[in-house]
Copies of this chain bind each other. A is one copy, B any other.
Amino acid sequence: MKRLTLVLLSGMWFSTYAQTPQDEKGIKEIFNEALSKCKSYDMLYELCTKIGPRLSGSPGAAAAVEWSRHLMLTCGFDSVWLQPVMVPHWVRGEKEITRVINSKKMGTFDLSVCAIGNSVGTGPNGVSAKVIEVKNFDELKQLGEKAVQGNIVFFNRPMDPTQIHTFAAYGGAVNQRGSGASEAAKLGAVAVIVRSMGVNLEDYPHTGSLRYASGVKQIPAVAVSTKHAELLSKLLKDEKDLQVYIEMHCEMLDDAPSYNVIGQINGSEYKNEIITVGGHLDSWDLAQGAHDDGAGCVQSIEVLRLFKTLGIQPKRTLRAVMFMNEENGMRGGMKYAELAKTNHENIIAAIESDEGGFTPRGYTMMASDAVRAKIKSWKPLLEPYGLTEFDGRGGGADIGPLGAQGTVLIGYSPDSQRYFDYHHTPEDTIDKVSPRELEMGAAAMTALVFMIDRYGLK
């Protein structure tokens, strides 16, 4: 009897924000349908194997735009359209070379590298110089211009493996990749080598983007595999005069036309309240972009498809957005927010999936305490599906610009342990994706949209 009272009380507690048997049933139906059909995986398989790499401005990106437009039309959404946006057009060119040329212990040998996205090339004759290792910008500054001038700076601060959430470890290391070139150039360096953003010791490098500071000389930047970063560091301990030759043929071309791709189901009661779900359609050029972020794209389409298949007519308008150019410019996300403002759209919530197609853990949020509490009150409904984490802050890169318009930003947050095994590498391919884990993520997003659609966020 005592137990019953407790159950009733806890039921009342949560009923503040509604949590009915219909909610429970609706969410169960969403997961049942997703897990027994696994359409997300079929979609992702097609995107990865038919289209493959799709860096902004590339033919692959154009093909992905057409593929996703066609797919959403086939799904029978109420409307599907393209949102034009000009994007940076960076090309890698011929395979990069980074060669140790005078090691007493190892002779001449090539390091496993790739150019960092947006980097300038070296010119056909390459660059040769002595290598100076640092762990961070403070160390670099302490060395000063005299030591750095004319040399190659090697940034070798690892991602911290003791961080449980690997994105925290990424956040603690990624400024080397993003700003290392300009920081080194300020002191006269001729190029930089950056330890890849990977948490394990691996044979392959991780690309990613850099941004040159304005007014600073643009110098070439390569990422080196974590294993070769260790090796290079070991050699440098004994061989202070180690020389490296770098040759890169990458270049930034003129901006190219591209698109965000959008599908919509119109709301029946509050048509002007829009819930956006999205991922980014562009990927790096080294692989299929299965986890980053093919997963987020097909999951977003799956959200709307599940509403249709289950015959759930949303009260509010639902939109799946394939953002273009997250990887090296964010132009798609900025364009989407700009047009939302121009058109006086009321986007009440935006949910982004850009942390891979892994097993669900929860959601991160950028929201007021009241909204956060409302969403968290739904936790008992979502916990049975592994969705237990509701306290993280953050939304997503593409939806970020909507924050200024008062949109509640939400990130779908899967388990992060394996993400940086694949992120920005040649390994980010469809065989690394578990159909169930991917589909659980789609259902996790759909379940949250289902609740927001039913009860709003006010």
Contact = CB atoms under 8 A, between A and B. Distances in A.
Interface string A155-188: 0000001101010000000000000000000000
Interface string A375-402: 0000000001110110000000000000
A32 B35 CA distance: 35
Contacts of A436: 161, 166, 199-200, 417-418
A385 B386 CA distance: 14
A435 interface: yes
A385 B416 CA distance: 12
A385 B31 contact: no
A149 to B, nearest CB: 35
Contact of A164 (B31, B161, B162, B421): B31
Interface in A417-458: 417-418, 421, 434-437, 440
Given A359-B417, A434-B418, A436-B417, A162 B200 contact: no
A385 B165 CA distance: 9
A36 B415 CA distance: 19
A199 B35 CA distance: 10
Interface in A333-386: 359, 361, 384-386
A136 B370 CA distance: 51
Interface string A187-226: 0000000000001100000000000000000000000000
Given A31-B164, A162-B31, A415 B435 contact: no
B200 A435 contact: yes
B384 A164 contact: yes
Interface residues of A, number: 27
A397 B35 CA distance: 28
Most chain B beta-carbon contacts within 10 A, residue among A31, A384, A386: A386
A35 B418 contact: no
Nearest to A420: B436
A434 B415 contact: no
A186 B71 CA distance: 52
A35 B435 contact: no
A415 B418 CA distance: 13
Given A417-B359, A437-B418, A164 B36 contact: no
Nearest to A160: B36
A438 to B, nearest CB: 10
A429 to B, nearest CB: 14
Contact of A437 (B388, B417, B437): B417
Given A435-B200, A436-B417, A437-B417, A386 B361 contact: yes
Contacts of A36: 161-162
A206 to B, nearest CB: 16
Contacts of A35: 161-162
Most chain B beta-carbon contacts within 10 A, residue among A31, A35, A38, A384: A35
A449 to B, nearest CB: 19
A162 B32 contact: yes
A45 to B, nearest CB: 13
A32 B435 CA distance: 31
A40 to B, nearest CB: 13
Most chain B beta-carbon contacts within 10 A, residue among A31, A200, A436, A440: A436
Nearest to A435: B200
A161 B33 CA distance: 10
Contacts of A440: 164, 417
A76 B145 CA distance: 51
29 contacts: A31-B162, A31-B164, A32-B162, A36-B162, A38-B161, A161-B436, A164-B384, A164-B385, A164-B386, A164-B440, A166-B436, A199-B436, A200-B435, A200-B436, A359-B359, A359-B415, A359-B417, A386-B415, A388-B388, A388-B389, A415-B415, A417-B434, A417-B436, A417-B437, A417-B440, A418-B434, A418-B436, A418-B437, A421-B434
Interface of A: 31-32, 35-36, 38, 161-162, 164, 166, 199-200, 359, 361, 384-386, 388-389, 415, 417-418, 421, 434-437, 440
Given A417-B440, A421-B434, 6 more contacts: A31-B164, A161-B436, A164-B386, A164-B440, A386-B415, A388-B389
